[in-house]
Amino acid sequence: MKSISEIQEADLEGRWVTWLRETYAEQIHTLTQLWPENQSLEVSYRVIESLDHDFAQNILAHPDANFQSANRALNQILLDSGYGNLQPFVRIQDLPSTQIRPISEIRAHDIGLFISLDTVVTKITGVRPRLYRATFVCDKCGHPTIVDQYNEQELVEPLQCSGVDGGCGGEGRQVRFTLHHQHSVLINTQFVELQELPEQMRGGLQPSRLMCIAEQDLTGRVTPGDRVKANGVLFIRSQRKAGKQTPLFDYYFNIHSLEHHSVALEEIKVTEAEEIQIKDIASNPDVFEILKASIAPSIFGMNHIKESLALQLFGGVPGLNKDTTRIRGDIHILLMGDPGVAKSQLLSYMAKISPRGRFTSGQSASAAGLTAAAVQDSSADGRWTLEAGALVLADMGLAAVDEFDKMSNSDRASMHEAMEQQRISIAKAGINATLSTRCAVLAAANPQSGRFKPLSEVPLVRQINLEPPLLSRFDLIWVMTDTPDFDSDTRIAEHILKNRRAASSEILVKEGSIPDPTKSTSFGEEDVHGDNGFPTLHKDFLRKYVAYAKRNIHPKLPIELFEEFIAFYVQKRHEKGQAEDSITMTARDIEAISRLAEASARIRLSKIIERIDMDRATRLFRHSRDESIGGDLTTMESGKKPTTRNREQSILEIIEKFAIDGGTGFANLNEVFLEANRLNIDKSQAEEIIDKLVSGGRLYRPSGYETIGLA
Show the 3-state SS of 129-151. EEEEEEEEEECCCCCEEEEECCC
3-state secondary structure of 85: coil
User: Could you tell me which residues come within 8 angstroms of residue 565 by beta carbon, excluding any fewer than 6 positions away?
Assistant: 557, 590, 593, 594, 614
Check whether the bond before 469 is cis (ω within 30° of 0): no
Q: Where in the chain is the domain with CATH 3.30.1640.10?
A: 4-94
CA atoms within 13 A on the CB side of 342: 15
Question: H/E element holding 238?
Answer: strand 227-241
Q: Are strands 398-402 and 357-361 parallel, antiparallel or unpaired?
A: parallel
CA separation for the pair 313, 545 (Å, rounded):
10
Q: Tell me the C-alpha to C-alpha distance, in Å, between residue 67 and each of 12, 98, 103, 117.
A: 10, 20, 23, 18
Buried b (16+ CB within 10 A) or exposed e, 72-95: ebbbebbeeeebeeeebbbbbbbb
Q: Are strands 524-529 and 667-668 parallel, antiparallel or unpaired?
A: unpaired
Please give the pLDDT value at position 255: 92
- Altogether, the residues listed in the chain come to a count of 711
CA separation for the pair 447, 335 (Å, rounded):
11
Which of 348-362, 602-616, 622-636 ranks highest by mean pLDDT? 602-616
Mention the CATH class of domain 4-94: alpha beta
590: left (phi over 0), alpha (psi -120 to 50) or beta: alpha
* Cα end-to-end distance, the chain, whole Å: 97
Among 268-272, 513-517, 698-702, which is the least confidently predicted range?
A: 513-517
Q: Where in the chain is the domain with CATH 2.40.50.140?
A: 103-260
CA separation for the pair 575, 630 (Å, rounded):
13
The band of 605, judged by pLDDT with boundaries at 50, 70 and 90, is: very high
**Which of 676, 683, 682 has its CA nearest to residue 655?**
676
Q: Where in the chain is the domain with CATH 1.10.10.10?
A: 642-710
The band of 543, judged by pLDDT with boundaries at 50, 70 and 90, is: confident
Among 86-100, 183-197, 257-271, 311-325, which is the least confidently predicted range?
A: 257-271
Residue 473 has pLDDT above 80, yes or no: yes
The angle subtended at Cα 581 by Cα 579 and Cα 583, nearest 5°, is: 100
pLDDT digits (tens, 9 = 90+) for 350-395: 888 888 788 887 666 666 677 777 776 655 455 677 777 778 888 8
What's the CATH fold of domain 642-710?
Arc Repressor Mutant, subunit A (1.10.10)
Region 505-530: mean pLDDT is 61
3-state secondary structure of 18: helix
What's the Rg (C-alpha) of the chain? 33
**Which of 624, 605, 487 has its CA nearest to residue 546?**
605
Is residue 452 a contact partner of residue 338, using CB atoms and an 8 Å limit? Answer: yes
Q: In this structure, what DSSP letter does residue 514 have?
A: S
One-letter identity of residue 199:
E
DSSP state letters, 410-462: HHHHTHHHHHHT-EEEEEETTEEEEEE---EEEEEE--TTSS--TTSSS-GGG
Higher-pLDDT residue of 368 and 334 is 334
The band of 4, judged by pLDDT with boundaries at 50, 70 and 90, is: very low
HEC per residue, 259-312: EECCCCCCCCCCCHHHHHHHHHHHCCCCHHHHHHHHCCCCCCCCHHHHHHHHHH
CATH architecture of 103-260: Beta Barrel (2.40)
Among 41-45, 62-66, 235-239, 454-458, which is the least confidently predicted range?
A: 454-458
Q: Tell me the C-alpha to C-alpha distance, in Å, between residue 142 and each of 40, 105, 169, 525, 569.
A: 38, 51, 12, 80, 82
Please give the pLDDT value at position 314: 92
CA atoms within 13 A on the CB side of 122: 18
Please give the pLDDT value at position 522: 43
> Rounded mean pLDDT of the chain?
80
CA separation for the pair 434, 432 (Å, rounded):
7
Please give the pLDDT value at position 527: 46
CA separation for the pair 103, 64 (Å, rounded):
21
Q: In this structure, what DSSP letter does residue 203 have?
A: T
Residue 400 has pLDDT above 70, yes or no: yes
Q: Give me the phi and psi of 638, to 5 degrees please.
A: -90, -20
Q: Hey, which residues does 285 pair with through a beta bridge? A: none
Mention the CATH class of domain 272-552: alpha beta
Higher-pLDDT residue of 55 and 528 is 55
pLDDT digits (tens, 9 = 90+) for 117-176: 988 888 888 788 888 888 888 888 888 888 888 777 778 888 888 877 777 877 777 788
Please give the pLDDT value at position 529: 63
Please give the pLDDT value at position 3: 44
Q: pTM here? A: 0.72
**Which of 59, 537, 651, 40 has its CA nearest to residue 297?**
537
Q: Where in the chain is the domain with CATH 3.40.50.300?
A: 272-552
